[in-house]
């Protein structure tokens, strides 16, 4: 990297003396750096969260928030940012503490300007190499995942989802994953995390519908000691625990209006206030939310905040149900059977052709999760090495027949209504396969498409 590029780094200078800030700002600007200044540690923490500087240059002794606290906050947000500490009262103990905390350099005041600039240039080069190394690792992970770690499936709807997930993964954008229960929303969220620059950070997740409001807020935001009965010590929330990583909020549509207000603040301010606390804490985590509810309908019923919806719905992924992924069922069966073989005693097992046919013909209303559970049950119920039809759950082997008409039908339906009902009944019986449905109806597939278009159901 050239010296000119080395010097173009954004440097945040933090000191409680305005005269020092001004002199350093002029020095850094003259040397080609892009300086930003903050008077005091508290203001510095705010700018770190919003600016994401390349280098932080901070005084150690400052009121309220000192340089060691600034260093700790930077390390939590991005360990790749070099932090240079300045002090007029250097001791061996303070220098050792700075090094142990991860400081890039510890310089004593007064210092020569040339010495400081040389340190900043080394810090800029260090930052550049860290960023390039991270990008290289990310690309390696992307290539490896595209070969071996990609979620199972080859159907067109599923591949479209994966391609969009791979496109948004390197960004910091919030993602909203929508789909029926059991379609693999957490699988896709973890895939996005694996391909992101945050892959080395933690992946935290929570099901918002599984906890009461009071406990959910404590899990999300943390709490301070004594904030409620049973709060015997401070607790870190999952937003803070996911620092540098990804936080997956499953079933966000189940949250109460009060929790939604607090989640909106997190997205807008990038900070949380633990239960019982008064001071906000900056957070550095990417948010991925998921729901099986129709949030637009929830907005119309005023049970979900419109402003939160638009904050979440930056990138939307719609996961198809398994009944629309017929080509993926054999692949999923194979993957689940391999997983069962690796986690249970008794070696590998196979599935008979008749059992495979039953599995392929069932509509799987519970989607991929139901398929996995059914195979696990069949594995347990099979003493030998070959799974037969009778080992599958009854609901799979003897599905409830769909009805041609029901009590809501008009007492004297029109001929078109009867035709529509019959076509939809046959289509459902063929699990949505239009080619087989056309064969059963004795019509050409193009004729079926025209009729479905006329009915407004061709998708």
Tens-digit pLDDT profile for residues 186-228: 999 999 999 998 998 999 999 998 888 888 988 999 888 888 7
- Distance between CA atoms of residues 236 and 285, nearest Å: 14
Please give the residue that has the higher pLDDT: either 231 or 127. 127
Q: Quick one: pLDDT at residue 1?
A: 41
List the structure tokens of 361: 């013909």
Q: Token pair 């190394």 is at which residue?
A: 133
Q: Quick one: pLDDT at residue 142?
A: 52
List the structure tokens of 335: 């993957």
Please give the residue that has the higher pLDDT: either 202 or 80. 202
Question: Which 3 state secondary structure label does DSSP give 292?
Answer: coil
Q: Quick one: pLDDT at residue 94?
A: 65
Q: Which fold has domain 401-459?
A: Arc Repressor Mutant, subunit A (1.10.10)
Please report, in angstroms and rounded to a whole number, the separation of the first and last CA atoms in the chain. Answer: 53
Residue 319: pLDDT above 50? yes
In DSSP terms, 203 is beta-bridged to 246
The reply to whether domains 324-397 and 401-459 share a CATH topology is no
pTM: 0.60
Residue 396: pLDDT above 70? yes
Average pLDDT over residues 237-255: 93
pLDDT tens digits for 116-136?
Answer: 999 999 999 888 887 777 666
C-alpha distances out from residue 354 to 323, 330, 333, 360, 361, Å: 19, 13, 14, 10, 11
Residue 437's nearest CA partner among 451, 423, 455, 450 is 423
Q: Quick one: pLDDT at residue 344?
A: 79
CATH of domain 324-397: 1.10.8.60
Phi (first) and psi of residue 2, to 5 degrees: -70, 160
pLDDT band at 91 (very low <50, low <70, confident <90, very high): low
Query: Would you kindly state where each structural domain of the chain is located, as residue ranges?
Result: 3-131, 154-320, 324-397, 401-459
Residue 260: pLDDT above 60? yes
CATH of domain 3-131: 3.40.50.2300
Question: Which 3 state secondary structure label does DSSP give 173?
Answer: coil
* Superfamily name with CATH number, domain 154-320: P-loop containing nucleotide triphosphate hydrolases (3.40.50.300)
Q: Quick one: pLDDT at residue 281?
A: 86
Residue 144: pLDDT above 50? no
What percentage of the chain exceeds 70 in pLDDT?
A: 87
pLDDT tens digits for 7-53?
Answer: 578 999 999 999 999 999 999 999 999 999 999 999 999 888 778 89
Q: Quick one: pLDDT at residue 370?
A: 93
- Distance between CA atoms of residues 51 and 45, nearest Å: 10
298 near 304, Cβ under 8 Å? yes
Please give the residue that has the higher pLDDT: either 274 or 8. 274
Average pLDDT over residues 357-366: 90
pLDDT tens digits for 149-185?
Answer: 689 999 999 999 999 999 999 999 999 999 999 999 9
List the structure tokens of 221: 């935001």
Phi (first) and psi of residue 163, to 5 degrees: -65, -40
List the structure tokens of 150: 């990609």
């Amino acid at each position: 990297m050239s010296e000119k590029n080395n010097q173009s780094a954004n440097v945040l200078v933090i000191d409680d003396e305005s005269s020092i800030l001004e002199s350093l700002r002029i020095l850094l600007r003259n040397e080609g750096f892009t300086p930003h200044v903050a008077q005091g540690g508290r203001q510095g923490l705010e700018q770190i969260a919003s600016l994401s500087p390349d280098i932080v240059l901070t005084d150690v002794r400052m009121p309220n928030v000192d340089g060691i606290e600034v260093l700790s906050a930077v390390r939590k947000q991005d360990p790749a940012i070099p932090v240079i500490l300045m002090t007029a009262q250097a001791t061996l103990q303070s220098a050792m503490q700075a090094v142990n905390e991860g400081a890039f350099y510890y310089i004593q005041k007064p210092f020569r300007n040339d010495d400081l600039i040389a340190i900043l240039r080394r810090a800029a080069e260090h930052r550049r190499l860290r960023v390039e190394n991270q990008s290289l690792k990310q690309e390696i992970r992307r290539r490896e995942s595209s070969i071996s770690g990609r979620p199972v499936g080859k159907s067109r709807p599923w591949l479209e989802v994966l391609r969009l997930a791979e496109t948004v993964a390197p960004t910091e954008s919030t993602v909203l994953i929508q789909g029926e229960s059991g379609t693999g929303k957490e699988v896709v969220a973890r895939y996005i995390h694996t391909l992101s620059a945050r892959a080395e950070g933690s992946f935290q997740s929570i099901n918002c519908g599984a906890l009461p409001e009071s406990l959910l807020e404590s899990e999300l935001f943390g709490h301070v000691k004594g904030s409620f009965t049973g709060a015997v010590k401070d607790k870190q929330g999952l937003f803070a625990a996911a620092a540098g990583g990804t936080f997956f909020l499953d079933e966000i549509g189940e949250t109460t209006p009060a929790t939604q207000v607090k989640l909106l603040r997190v997205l807008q301010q990038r900070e949380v206030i633990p239960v019982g606390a008064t001071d906000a804490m900056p957070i550095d985590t990417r948010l991925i939310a998921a729901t099986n509810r129709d949030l637009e309908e929830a907005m119309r019923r005023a049970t979900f905040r419109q402003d939160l919806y638009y904050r979440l719905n930056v990138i939307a992924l719609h996961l198809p149900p398994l009944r629309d992924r017929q080509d993926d069922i054999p692949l999923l069966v194979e993957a689940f059977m391999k997983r069962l073989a690796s986690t249970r005693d008794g070696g590998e097992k196979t599935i008979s052709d008749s059992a495979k046919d039953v599995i392929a013909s069932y509509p799987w209303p519970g989607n991929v999760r139901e398929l996995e559970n059914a195979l696990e049950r069949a594995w347990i119920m099979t003493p030998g090495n070959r799974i037969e039809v009778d080992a599958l759950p009854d609901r799979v082997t003897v599905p409830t027949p769909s009805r041609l008409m029901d009590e809501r039908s008009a007492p004297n339906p029109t001929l078109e209504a009867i035709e529509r009902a019959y076509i939809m009944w046959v289509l459902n019986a063929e699990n949505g396969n239009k080619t087989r449905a056309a064969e059963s109806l004795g019509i050409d597939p193009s004729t079926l498409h025209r009729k479905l278009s006329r009915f407004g159901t061709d998708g």
